[in-house]
Amino acid sequence: ETGVTQTPRHLVMGMTNKKSLKCEQHLGHNAMYWYKQSAKKPLELMFVYNFKEQTENNSVPSRFSPECPNSSHLFLHLHTLQPEDSALYLCASSQDWRGRTDTQYFGPGTRLTVL
Partner 1 sequence: KNQVEQSPQSLIILEGKNCTLQCNYTVSPFSNLRWYKQDTGRGPVSLTIMTFSENTKSNGRYTATLDADTKQSSLHITASQLSDSASYICVVSGTSGTYKYIFGTGTRLKVLA
Of the pair 55, 70, the CB lying nearest partner 1 is at 55
Of the pair 85, 93, the CB lying nearest partner 1 is at 93
The type of residue at 10 is H
Of the pair 16, 59, the CB lying nearest partner 1 is at 59
Quick one: CA torsion of 33, 34, 38, 43, rounded to 10 degrees? -20
Q: Which phi and psi angles does 4 have, rounded to 5°?
A: -125, 120
Closest approach of Cβ 107 to partner 1, in Å?
Answer: 5
Contact status, residue 105 vs residue 25, Cβ threshold 8 Å: yes
Closest of 18, 13, 36 to residue 92, by C-alpha: 36
Closest approach of Cβ 15 to partner 1, in Å?
Answer: 25
Closest approach of Cβ 32 to partner 1, in Å?
Answer: 13
Q: Which residues bind partner 1 (CB under 8 A)?
A: 4, 40-45, 48, 55-56, 58, 90-92, 97-98, 100-101, 103-109, 111
